[in-house]
Amino acid sequence: MSHNYKTQPMVHQRDALKKGATQRVFGLFMEQGTGKTKVIIDNAVYLYDTNNIDTVFVIAPNSVYTNWEEEIDKHASSKNYIFMHKIHKTFAPRPDCLTWYLMNVEAFSHKSGYETAYELIKFYGLKTMIVVDESTTIKNRTAKRSKNLSKLSKGCRYKRILTGTPITKSPLDLWSQIGFLDEEIFGFKSYYSFRARYCVMHSKPVSGNRKIEYPLYFINLDDLEQKMQSFTYRCLKKDCLDLPPQVWQRRNIFLSNQQRNTYEILKEQARVIIQDKQASITNKLTEISKLQQVCSGFVYSDDGKLVELDNAKLRELLNILDEIDGKVIIWSTFRYSIELIAKEIAKKYDKKNKKDIVVTLYGDTKDRPSVVKKFNEDKDCKYLVSNPSVGGYGLTLNASSIQIFFNNSYNLEERLQAEARNHRKGQTADKVTYIDLVAIKTIDEFILKALKNKIQISAQTLNEEVLAFLE
């Protein structure tokens, strides 16, 4: 195919465009850092130039969707006009250019977000290409956002999904993502017939006459892969990019006496709740979260007050930073830890307060692009402390070759996304290093083991494995 590229593609990007450019539905399963956003932008421009679309509707996580504006300006060879949800209050079509509308996927959990998108799609209809970036955000078939986007997609002729990790828990993750493209593309009438083809389920009684079902093992996966080959493109970094090796390190930490005593008390409480068949999965995960908090140097009392603990993990983090030259990314799932780490770094390394050496990125951060820009471009800014659910998606952080995980979430996809932020095109270091701070004989060890084994903590994991770990 011929296409007027504004920026020249790599070979794999050209191959991806060639395979998917004219298809009505298509999935780009390209690993983080391989440039799938550029492929989609080139695809949109190609369809616009051939008079197939005049509007592109992009849905992405809140931490990602604002980045699309920069990428469009960089790669789109056509004349473009960009509208952004929550920033531009009205949407007015531009007949003389390719019009983009950018919206965060979280908005589709609410009626107002869906109605806004519905009016846009109703107006443009078949001349709209709809794109879901990081499509695992809609992998839960029962979630409101997944249902709303599935309904919305029916009004569009061209549909695209993008993700580097289409499967984070099981092949069943694919049903809702592919269903967004076309509910009949697999050839099954329902989710349950799809599940029966590729999964053997196990049923387990929980209380009274109630049972829970979960996958025991998977079957016919060669058939599933073959079905997907015609409408997807898969690309791994190791196959298409010359990147430095990745190195994983673990730094073991002994909890302080105060942390250990608090941990043992809360561990007993967690064991009781996890054993309780009436307790919800949310309550069980909350108890695990409390154990993680203790390992990170704090806990909340019964009346909701924050209690600071003697923090052995923070001391080890500062010791590690003494050993490192260059910029460092530090991940934490807790807001308190992010703010505390940033404060202690500034206190230790910026005593005269003349240089803004540390920046933070989490839920309340308003101008996220400026934070990323400062970290990447300001030589005096050496540390980025971030929540992986915010900073782990869609960002390029190649200014650093070292990441430190102060703690981990249960979410495997978040971990993989975070690791990919500085292991991507443009990274020039000899190696990329990931350091996990692990309090020994604690829940830290269990969560890291689960992530390494590519297991996402679930109700089954809790009931069968965490309980044994807490013995």
Q: How far apart are CA 407 and CA 371, in angstroms?
A: 22
Between 348 and 457, where is the model more confident? 348
Query: In this structure, are residues 182 and 25 in contact, taking their beta carbons and an 8 Å threshold?
Result: yes
Residue with structure tokens 């950018």? 102
Q: Are 153 and 261 found together in one domain?
A: no
The tens digit of pLDDT for each residue in 28-40 reads 999 988 999 999 9
The phi-psi region of residue 108 (left if phi > 0; otherwise alpha if psi is between -120 and 50; otherwise beta) is: alpha
| 3-state secondary structure (DSSP) of residue 73 | helix
The predicted-structure confidence for 411-469, as pLDDT tens digits, reads as follows 888 888 899 999 988 899 999 999 999 999 999 998 998 888 776 655 455 555 666 66
In order of 13, 73, 313, the CA distances from 67 in angstroms are: 19, 10, 33
Same domain, 339 and 424: yes
Closest residue by Cα to residue 328 from 204, 241, 452, 433: 433
Same domain, 408 and 457: yes
Same domain, yes or no: 364 and 304: yes
Is residue 93 included in any domain, yes or no? yes
> The pTM is what?
0.76
With respect to residue 369, please indicate whether it lies within any of the assigned structural domains: yes
166 and 255, same domain (yes or no): no
Q: What is the DSSP letter of 350?
A: -
The per-residue pLDDT for 310 is 96
List the one residue out of 243, 237, 196, 244 whose CA is nearest residue 218. Answer: 196
How many Å is the maximal CA-CA distance in the chain?
69
Domain membership of residue 120 (yes or no) is yes
Where does a domain end: 221, 240, 259? Answer: 240
Query: What six digits make up the tokens of 349?
Result: 């390394």
Closest CA to 26 of 234, 223, 173: 234
Domain annotation covers residue 190: no
| 257: CATH | 3.40.50.300
Please check whether residues 134 and 281 belong to one and the same domain.
no
Local structure of residue 106 (DSSP, 8 states): G
- 164: CATH: 3.40.50.10810
DSSP conformation letters of 377-425: H-TT--EEEE-HHHHTSS---TT-SEEEESS--S-HHHHHHHHTTSSST
- Considering the domain boundaries, does residue 383 fall inside one? yes
- d(CA 150, CA 146) in angstroms, rounded, equals 6
pLDDT per position as a tens digit, 161-171? 999 989 877 89
* Residue 37 structural domain: 11-185+231-240
In a domain, 222, yes or no: no
User: What letter represents residue 188's amino acid?
Assistant: F
Tokens of 216: 């025991």
264, 306: one domain: yes
Whether 236 and 373 share a structural domain: no
Spatial CA neighbour of 345 closest among 307, 300, 386: 386
> How many structural domains does the chain have?
2
Average pLDDT, the chain: 89
On whether residue 370 sits in a domain, the answer given is yes
User: CA-to-CA distance for 51 and 157, rounded, in angstroms?
Assistant: 13
Distance between CA 194 and CA 173 in Å, rounded?
Answer: 11
Q: Among 123-132, 257-266, 347-356, 358-367, name the most confident range.
A: 257-266
Q: Residue 30 domain-assigned?
A: yes
Domain match, 45 and 165 both: yes
pLDDT tens digit string along 279-296?
Answer: 777 888 888 899 999 999
For residues 236 and 281, state if they share a domain. no
- The pLDDT tens digits of the residues spanning 52-84 come to 999 999 999 887 877 898 899 999 998 999 988
Give the distance, in angstroms, between the CA of residue 467 and the centroid of all CA atoms in the same chain.
28
pLDDT in tens, 125-155: 778 999 999 999 999 999 999 999 999 998 8
Same domain, 282 and 235: no
Same domain, 282 and 329: yes
Last residue of a domain, one of 215, 240, 265: 240
Q: What is the dihedral of CA 361, 363, 367, 373, to 10 degrees?
A: 20
> Of 257, 238, 147, whose CA–CA distance to 423 is shortest?
238
Token pair 């011929």 in the structure block, residue? 2
Q: Is 357 in contact with 383 (CB distance < 8 Å)? A: yes
CA distances from 28 to 25, 129, 413 (A): 10, 14, 17
